[in-house]
């Protein structure tokens, strides 16, 4: 489109161009300016240089209209590019460095290689000048330094340690403090540095990193040597400081690669700046591998010398330090070559301790004989009986200390149990002997025989249990199983209830006191009565009590009835006292409510199914003058040197002291009548056999020296059902086998 102005326009005159039709964006229009010729001005050489000459053509571009309104407001400017941002950030620095760059430019141009080099002939034309060599070396140092600075800044110390590096085992101890068993995937027990003797620490430092307290966390010489061995010769070699080894143990893998080695060094540098040297050394000593399946100096001390690290001397510490170079090469019990290497390195470490001033020559002179370690690791896996002990202790520990399964599995707990090693061995030997005799005399019956036993002190401590022949093949604890009736072994609880609460001859009437001299009918088949008359069962039959062998005793005192195990008086006593009171007395004495039988007359004759532990606990209540303490198997728990809060059961009054003594006196007479030569007259022994009417269980429960022990024998074919089977004489005459186990386990009585 052309526009021609026919008249002169004053300066800055605005002209509007109206297009009759809409033009697309970026359309080009031509505007032609026609100026009348001014010949006078032209002749004078005047005129505006900016004024277009006549008939000049100008191009006018139509732009796309800018958006307006909300759409315009929503339109955002494009973000600057990464290069723009970097340039902007570096602009102030560039401005400051510009003068120096100008001064260095001539020198830099001289360093620029020109090939072939002018003024040189032959091969010299291709050899860089000394300035170029110097520039290359300086540049390489500068780039390397910058790379290391960037790598150090970019390296973070991992938040989480390797789970394998933090997992420990749980150690269980006998009541005398000696190790009993351990559980967990690794043998590791963390120890605070303050509990590790100074000589033990310096034995390790002398062997591994004597400059530990002064180095920056890495050794350039060692890293270079390790890299040379790894890259140049294809094998691996140490060269790490203790800080680097600790980083490898707890943060990284054991892979011997250049990248892992570099990461290890960077983390070690940063860790050395953030963590104290003592903390690093403590972590290293608690996570290092010492062989024999052990991690950490504490477990190594126990595995090789059978004692805590606090009891090590410098000589023993020097040997353990030698294992850090490779336990497979320095455990002297493996072979003669190992023994030779171990002695040499042990001697070298002691000499190093003298050289660095951590051992005096006089002290060094004491250690001339190599400290031979134990031939085998005493920290064995849990064995046949210890499996049951560990099971009881771990369950109690978690409950009493409020430890979750997840926390417990992380390990690190030292669990001091109540188990008495001598009593445990004696009880296990007694049951093992009885099992062997049963296989010889009753081979068919012995295949389905089960024996449970437990000893509980009058203060609640579980001293020993027999849980079965092998926990690995039998996954439950027979000493803690509530499977078979207590039978006549339950009678003392009925007796105690009657003496404590009295009897009711009329419904709702006052209680009449009962004493050991109170007389009851001891004949067989005596009907059981209530204040309203005979007791009828659901089948409409009168319930009658029966004695063992259906023997009748006539009128008999309650004390004599318990001593002679006469059932019928106690079945009636239970009804007179009230079965609710009988139940409460049994539970208060130690039996679990879940094991108490149906509240019918048979309750008094032992239809309850307590475990051996609970029966022993109940009899221990009578030995404790009527104070009951819940049975417990753990007396103390620590973790990594700190004490774990543990709820210890408190004694509660179950029955009066007088009643408890009366029960004990009757049980003492029961023992003397059944086993007149079983113990000297001066020894206090109280015990009673327990049988069932259906011959499915045989018990003996007795107390001596304030310790109650319960033994139960029964038959059950677990491959078919959980239904008890008749013993058929497997228990001997009058529960002779359970009594034999009981007496052998406690021998000598007195």
φ, ψ of residue 297 to 5 degrees: the values are -65, -30
The per-residue pLDDT for range 166-190, each reduced to its tens digit, is: 678 899 999 999 989 888 767 778 8
Closest by CA to 630, choosing from 616, 644, 609, 610, is: 616
Q: What is the pLDDT of residue 215?
A: 80
Q: What is the pLDDT of residue 250?
A: 72
DSSP 325: G
Sign of the Cα pseudo-torsion (431, 434, 438, 439, in order): positive
623 neighbors 451 (Cβ within 8 angstroms)? no
612 neighbors 713 (Cβ within 8 angstroms)? no
**Burial class of residue 634 in the structure, from the number of CB atoms within 10 Å of its CB (0-12 exposed, 13-18 middle, 19+ buried):** buried
Res 235 pLDDT > 50: no
- Three-state SS for 116-129 is CCCCCCHHHHHCCC
Helix (H, G, I), strand (E, B) or coil at 657: helix
Q: What is the pLDDT of residue 328?
A: 86
74 neighbors 91 (Cβ within 8 angstroms)? no
Helix (H, G, I), strand (E, B) or coil at 602: helix
Res 78 pLDDT > 70: no
**Burial class of residue 172 in the structure, from the number of CB atoms within 10 Å of its CB (0-12 exposed, 13-18 middle, 19+ buried):** buried
Q: What is the pLDDT of residue 721?
A: 87
Res 600 pLDDT > 90: yes
More confident position, 586 or 157: 586
Res 2 pLDDT > 50: no
Please report, rounded to a whole number, the percentage of residues in the chain having pLDDT higher than 90. 53
306 neighbors 225 (Cβ within 8 angstroms)? no
Res 393 pLDDT > 80: yes
Both tokens of 403, joined, read 């430890």
The per-residue pLDDT for range 529-548, each reduced to its tens digit, is: 998 889 998 888 899 999 98
More confident position, 116 or 385: 385
The per-residue pLDDT for range 310-336, each reduced to its tens digit, is: 999 999 999 999 999 888 899 999 899
Q: What is the pLDDT of residue 239?
A: 53
Res 238 pLDDT > 90: no
373 neighbors 307 (Cβ within 8 angstroms)? no
Closest by CA to 392, choosing from 317, 313, 308, 466, is: 466
Residue 662, CB half-sphere, CA atoms under 13 Å: how many?
A: 23
By 3-state DSSP, what share of the chain in percent is helix, strand and coil, each rounded to 5? 45, 15, 40
Cα–Cα dist 674/690, whole Å: 12
Q: Where are the alpha helices (DSSP H) in 356-486?
A: 361-366, 386-401, 405-410, 421-441, 443-446
Confidence of residue 19 (pLDDT cuts 50, 70, 90): low
Closest by CA to 632, choosing from 596, 590, 597, is: 590
Q: Return mean pLDDT, the chain.
A: 82
Res 298 pLDDT > 80: yes
Cα–Cα dist 479/456, whole Å: 12
Q: What is the pLDDT of residue 283?
A: 87
Res 228 pLDDT > 80: no
Instruction: Say if residue 116 is preceded by a cis peptide, omega within 30 of 0.
Output: yes
Res 96 pLDDT > 90: no
Q: What is the pLDDT of residue 352?
A: 95
The per-residue pLDDT for range 350-391, each reduced to its tens digit, is: 999 999 999 999 999 999 999 999 987 776 545 578 889 999
Average pLDDT, integer, range 394-420: 90
662 neighbors 559 (Cβ within 8 angstroms)? yes
640 neighbors 191 (Cβ within 8 angstroms)? yes
605 neighbors 573 (Cβ within 8 angstroms)? no
Residues 6+ apart with CB under 8 A from 177: 416
Q: What is the pLDDT of residue 431?
A: 97
Q: Which region, left, alpha or beta, applies to residue 114 given φ > 0 means left and ψ of -120 to 50 means alpha?
A: beta
DSSP 81: P
Which range has the worst mean pLDDT, 74-83, 195-204, 217-226, 468-477?
A: 74-83
* pTM of this structure: 0.66
φ, ψ of residue 301 to 5 degrees: the values are -60, -40
Which range has the worst mean pLDDT, 104-108, 292-296, 681-685?
A: 104-108
Average pLDDT, integer, range 664-686: 94
Cα–Cα dist 491/567, whole Å: 8
CA 723 to chain centre: 38
Residue-wise over 97-129: b if at least 16 C-beta within 10 A, else e?
eeeeeeeeeeeeeebeeeeeeeeeeeeeeeeee
Closest by CA to 255, choosing from 264, 267, 246, is: 264
Cα–Cα dist 448/391, whole Å: 24
Cα–Cα dist 499/528, whole Å: 19
Q: What is the pLDDT of residue 75?
A: 46
Cα–Cα dist 244/704, whole Å: 60
Please report, rounded to a whole number, the percentage of residues in the chain having pLDDT higher than 70. 74
Helices and strands (H and E) in the chain: how many: 26, 23
Query: Helix 198-208 to helix 242-250 angle, to the nearest 10 degrees?
Result: 100
Average pLDDT, integer, range 217-239: 53
């Amino acid at each position: 489109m052309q526009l021609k102005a026919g008249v002169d326009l004053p300066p800055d005159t605005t002209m509007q161009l109206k297009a009759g039709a809409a033009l697309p964006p970026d359309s080009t229009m031509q505007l032609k300016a026609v100026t009348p010729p001014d010949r006078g001005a032209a002749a004078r050489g005047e005129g505006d240089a900016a004024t277009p000459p006549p008939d000049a053509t100008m191009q006018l571009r139509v732009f796309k209209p800018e958006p307006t309104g909300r759409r315009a407001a929503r339109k955002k400017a494009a973000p600057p590019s990464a290069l723009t941002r970097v340039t902007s950030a570096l602009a102030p620095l560039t401005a400051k460095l510009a003068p120096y760059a100008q001064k260095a430019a001539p020198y830099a141009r001289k360093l620029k290689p020109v090939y072939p080099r002018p003024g040189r002939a032959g091969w010299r034309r291709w050899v860089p000048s000394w300035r170029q060599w110097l520039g290359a070396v300086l540049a390489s140092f500068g780039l390397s330094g910058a790379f290391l600075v960037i790598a150090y800044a970019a390296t973070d110390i991992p938040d989480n340690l390797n789970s394998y590096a933090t997992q420990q085992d749980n150690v269980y101890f006998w009541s005398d403090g000696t190790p009993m068993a351990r559980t967990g995937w690794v043998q590791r027990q963390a120890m605070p540095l303050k509990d590790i003797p100074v000589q033990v620490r310096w034995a390790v430092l002398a062997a591994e990193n004597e400059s530990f307290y002064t180095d920056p966390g890495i050794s350039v010489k060692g890293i270079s040597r390790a890299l040379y061995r790894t890259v140049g010769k294809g094998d691996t070699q140490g060269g790490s400081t203790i800080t680097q080894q600790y980083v490898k143990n707890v943060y990284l893998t054991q892979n011997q690669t250049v990248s892992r080695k570099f990461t290890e060094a960077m983390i070690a540098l940063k860790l050395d700046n953030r963590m104290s040297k003592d903390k690093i050394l403590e972590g290293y000593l608690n996570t290092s591998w010492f062989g024999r399946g052990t991690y950490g100096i504490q477990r190594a001390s126990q595995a090789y010398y059978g004692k805590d690290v606090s009891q090590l001397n410098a000589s023993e510490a020097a040997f353990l330090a030698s294992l850090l170079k490779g336990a497979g090469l320095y455990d002297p019990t493996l072979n003669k070559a190992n023994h030779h290497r171990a002695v040499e390195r042990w001697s070298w470490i002691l000499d190093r301790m003298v050289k660095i001033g951590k051992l005096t020559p006089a002290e060094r002179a004491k250690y001339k004989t190599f400290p031979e370690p134990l031939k085998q690791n005493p920290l064995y896996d849990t064995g046949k009986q210890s499996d049951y002990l560990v099971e009881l202790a771990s369950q109690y520990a978690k409950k009493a200390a409020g430890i979750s399964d997840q926390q417990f599995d992380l390990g690190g707990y030292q669990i001091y149990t109540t188990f008495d090693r001598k009593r445990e061995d004696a009880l296990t030997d007694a049951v093992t002997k009885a099992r062997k005799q049963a296989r010889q005399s009753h081979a068919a019956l012995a295949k389905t025989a089960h024996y449970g036993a437990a000893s509980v002190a009058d203060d609640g401590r579980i001293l020993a249990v027999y849980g079965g022949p092998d926990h690995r093949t039998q996954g439950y604890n027979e000493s803690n199983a509530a499977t078979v009736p207590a039978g006549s072994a339950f009678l003392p609880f009925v007796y105690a209830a009657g003496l404590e609460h009295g009897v009711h001859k009329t419904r709702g009437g006052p209680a009449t006191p009962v004493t050991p001299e109170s007389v009851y009918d001891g004949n067989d088949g005596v009907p059981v009565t209530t204040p309203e008359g005979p007791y009828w069962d659901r089948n409409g039959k009168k319930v009658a009590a029966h004695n063992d062998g259906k023997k009748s005793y006539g009128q008999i005192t309650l004390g004599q009835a318990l001593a002679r195990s006469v059932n019928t008086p106690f079945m009636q006593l239970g009804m007179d006292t009230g079965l609710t009171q009988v139940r409460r007395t049994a539970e208060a004495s130690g039996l679990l409510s879940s094991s108490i039988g149906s509240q019918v007359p048979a309750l008094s004759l032992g239809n309850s199914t307590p475990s051996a532990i609970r029966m022993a606990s109940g009899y221990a209540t009578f030995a404790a003058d009527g104070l009951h303490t819940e049975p417990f198997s753990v007396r103390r728990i620590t973790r990594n040197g700190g004490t774990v809060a543990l709820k210890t059961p408190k004694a509660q009054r179950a029955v009066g002291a007088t009643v408890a003594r009366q029960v004990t006196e009757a049980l003492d007479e029961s023992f003397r009548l059944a086993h007149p030569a079983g113990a000297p007259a001066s020894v206090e022994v109280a015990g009673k056999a327990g049988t069932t009417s259906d011959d499915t269980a045989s018990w003996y429960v007795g107390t001596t020296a304030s310790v109650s022990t319960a033994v139960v024998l029964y038959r059950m074919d677990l491959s078919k059902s959980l239904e008890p089977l008749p013993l058929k004489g497997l228990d001997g005459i009058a529960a002779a086998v359970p009594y034999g186990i009981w007496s052998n386990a406690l021998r000598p009585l007195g």
